[in-house]
A = this chain, B = another copy of it.
Amino acid sequence: MKLTQAQAEEIVSGALERGAILGKALSIAIVDAGGFAVLIKRSDGARPLTPSIAMSKAYTAAVMERPSNMLKNWAESNPGFFAQLSTMGTHPIVATDGGVTIKRDGEIIGGLGVSGGTPAEDQKVCDEVLAELGYELEFPAWGTGAPRK
């Protein structure tokens, strides 16, 4: 299953509506399962680097196959090693709020990244918009996942 541009637009629209309600100028990024950009949008007034921040969150969520905030324990317990992860991919691997894996029917099809709000707001926007659109938000705790069947 490939994430389509229409699906990406739907997610981004939902995220931007929530940003408008919060009164925050957000940037939103959507990547496919391989971490390649599908749609990146910066709201009027969002700071210049927010699209790149959103992209790194979306990339992390896709290629690490977990929401980016599930990596916090790893980043805190071995920050040097964690920093080196970023040299292994195309974009930084970030341990922060606001990046959530896009999953449907158990299959990872991409990543969503939100930047421009507080960490809690960025996270809430991700969770709400993906839940509303029927994507799955259950992920096994880091380090305990069974092999994919």
Contacts and interface: CB of A to CB of B under 8 A. Distances in A.
Given A34-B34, A65-B47, A84 B94 contact: yes
A88 B113 CA distance: 15
**Category for how many chain A residues contact B:** 35 or more
Interface string A86-102: 11111011111000000
A84 B52 CA distance: 11
A135 interface: no
A124 interface: no
A81 B52 contact: no
A37 interface: yes
A67 interface: no
A117 B43 CA distance: 28
Given A45-B148, A53-B85, 13 more contacts: A5-B43, A23-B147, A25-B146, A32-B48, A36-B42, A36-B63, A38-B51, A40-B51, A45-B147, A47-B64, A84-B86, A86-B87, A88-B92
